[in-house]
Amino acid sequence: MRRLQGQKPKFQKHYNHDNGRPLGTMEEMLRYAHDTTGSLILANTLVLRSKKAITGVMVRKAMEQLMRRHPILRMCYQKNQSEEYHLQKMTTLKVDLRERDTTDWKSVMEESLLEKFDGKNGPLWRVLFLPKARYQSNADEEIPEITSHPHECICIINFHHIVVDGPSYSRMFAEFKTYLGNALNNEEPQVSSMPMLPPIDLYLDEAAPSRWYHPLMPLVFRLLCMIPGFTARMMGEFAAKGNAFTRKYGVEIQRSPHIQPKTKIIPLEFTKSETSKFLKKCKEYQTTVQGAVQTAAGVSMVTMLEDQTLEVPTRVTVNIRPFLKSKVPNDYAGAYYLRVECENLLVSTPDPGMFWSMAKQASNDIHTQLKNNEPVKKWSVMKFLFPVVLGMMNNELKEEDDGCGGRRRQLLVFTNLGYAKFLDGSPEDDVILRARFGGCAEHHQGTIFDNNIVTFNGKLFWTVIHYSNIVSDVVAQKFCVIDEFYFDQKDRTKVLENSAFSFVLLIIFTSVSDT
């Protein structure tokens, strides 16, 4: 805590890969969220298919190779004599592998998001191996890899958010399946350790140096908090004060106090044909996949709130590496991301022309903020306010719930990993990734619906994340039908009966000229 209340340390450009280093400001925030409420634990389900059966011994071997390559996987965090948290090498290097006999991978994934890591001793990651679990896709198509790679298993990988972000864990999965292939063939790959890089703080300071007055901002902020109403207004930006959804519907735990707060997932898969058509539509209407899916989810939210139009507060996680002056490789594990805040005006049940117009606007909004370096500029200010904000949030955690269920103003959050071509498989590979779904624990504080998206092997995989204490399974399915997709105009009536979200998906696959 002292770090957040005082001067941040000066970070080195390079560290010995096993000597550790101080935590950065963002890492300290992630550590605090994890240690206090168990928030921001990451879970990724990997559906693996292989030419020969994968065993627990092979999974352990692949984990050991990953740990050898990535120094941050060898770390834990402890306080030094100055009461500041540092990453340091585990006293005893070990991997946390747990083999489960169950076939219910979704429940295992959701339960895994309830278990904190032992930050003091490590490791800050673990793998749950489910050799008997099988993946049932919602997409109706033939799967050629069933023949070429007849064996299937599921691995669920949990990370402390200090350890990875989206770009780095997705590349780590490519390494993981390669190491599994080595283990299948009794091969011993030569794996050398990557360097230990500094936290994001150093790189952001290079990209947007602090102004002389920025260190004075905490004092100014505290003085402004003495003005009646100012604190409440500012905390609405940073802390959990509810949003349009909670104000209209309340939260599920108020109606059913016995519910265990839990992060839950809805896995969605598009076929290759659907994905190809979707990508072509995005190109045709000059928008990005992010703009389209963000608008789809936003329109569904507007419809659920029974509004005609609404500005939907949305947060989009972005890989900040391309915007840094010094190079941070995408495969270097760590938290190197920032967020873009969006608030686009959306209408309910739009026709295709209106939908694609809104999607293009959402896409342009994100690109403009990134082009103007807005996330980095915002960070250069906010890093000085984090100590004050954290203190307020700490006090808030001690107060009774005010009925908002720990929800922030954002109705939707997105993590889009893009087209991860490095995850593509081929018939020659010993192990291929059949599907991947991911999520982040935010049942204590967060949004209404989180969305985690990745495309590989020609297919788009979309994980919709919701929270048992906020919305029921019925409401979540209303947001996103999980059993059926209707992309044929003949089924438009049926779509409307099932889900506003599926109606928007229909629009995605319908051209403007078809209406």
Nearest partner of 27 among 161, 209, 156, 140, judged by Cα? 161
Q: Domain 21-185 class?
A: alpha beta
Task: State yes or no: pLDDT of 57 exceeds 60.
Answer: yes
**Domain residue ranges in the chain:** 21-185, 239-374+400-510
- 21-185 and 239-374+400-510 agree in CATH topology: yes
Average pLDDT over residues 318-332: 92
Token duo for residue 89: 């090498």
SS3 annotation, 277-289: HHHHHHHHCCCCH
pLDDT band of residue 482 (cuts 50, 70, 90) is: very low
- Give the pLDDT of residue 512: 54
Q: What b/e readout covers 165-198, taking b as 16+ CB neighbours within 10 angstroms?
A: bbbbbbbbbbbbbbbbbbbbeeeeeebeebebbb
Question: Does residue 492 contact residue 471 with C-beta atoms inside 8 Å?
Answer: no
**Distance from chain centroid for Cα 422:** 19
Task: State yes or no: pLDDT of 450 exceeds 90.
Answer: yes
What interhelical angle do 374-398 and 25-37 show, nearest 10? Answer: 30
Higher-scoring residue by pLDDT: 160, 501: 160
Higher-scoring residue by pLDDT: 325, 132: 132
Domain 239-374+400-510: CATH architecture, name and number where available: 2-Layer Sandwich (3.30)
pLDDT band of residue 471 (cuts 50, 70, 90) is: very high
Task: State yes or no: pLDDT of 194 exceeds 90.
Answer: yes
Task: State yes or no: pLDDT of 500 exceeds 80.
Answer: no
Average pLDDT over residues 217-246: 66
Task: State yes or no: pLDDT of 88 exceeds 50.
Answer: yes
Average pLDDT over residues 45-64: 98
Strand ranges of the sheet holding 459-467, from the earlier edge strand across to the other edge: 263-269, 459-467, 449-456, 412-419, 309-319, 337-347
- Give the pLDDT of residue 496: 40
- Asked, as a colleague might, if the bond just before 123 is cis with ω within 30 of 0, I would say yes
Higher-scoring residue by pLDDT: 53, 490: 53
pLDDT band of residue 6 (cuts 50, 70, 90) is: very low
Phi first, then psi: give them for residue 6, nearest 5 degrees. Answer: -135, -150
Q: Which residues contact 491 (CB under 8 A, 6 or more apart)?
A: 506
pLDDT band of residue 452 (cuts 50, 70, 90) is: very high
pLDDT band of residue 493 (cuts 50, 70, 90) is: very low
Average pLDDT over residues 339-350: 91
pLDDT in tens, 303-320: 889 888 999 999 999 999
pLDDT band of residue 387 (cuts 50, 70, 90) is: low
Q: Which residues contact 323 (CB under 8 A, 6 or more apart)?
A: 207, 370, 373, 375, 376
Average pLDDT over residues 382-386: 72
pLDDT in tens, 212-225: 555 666 566 666 66
Average pLDDT over residues 363-379: 92
User: What dihedral do alpha carbons 319, 320, 323, 326 form, nearest 10°?
Assistant: -120
Mean pLDDT of the chain: 86
Task: State yes or no: pLDDT of 38 exceeds 60.
Answer: yes
* Dist. CA 260–CA 217, nearest whole Å: 40
Please tell me whether residue 37 adopts helix, strand or coil conformation. Answer: helix
Token duo for residue 183: 């283990």
Nearest partner of 409 among 267, 232, 240, 189, judged by Cα? 240
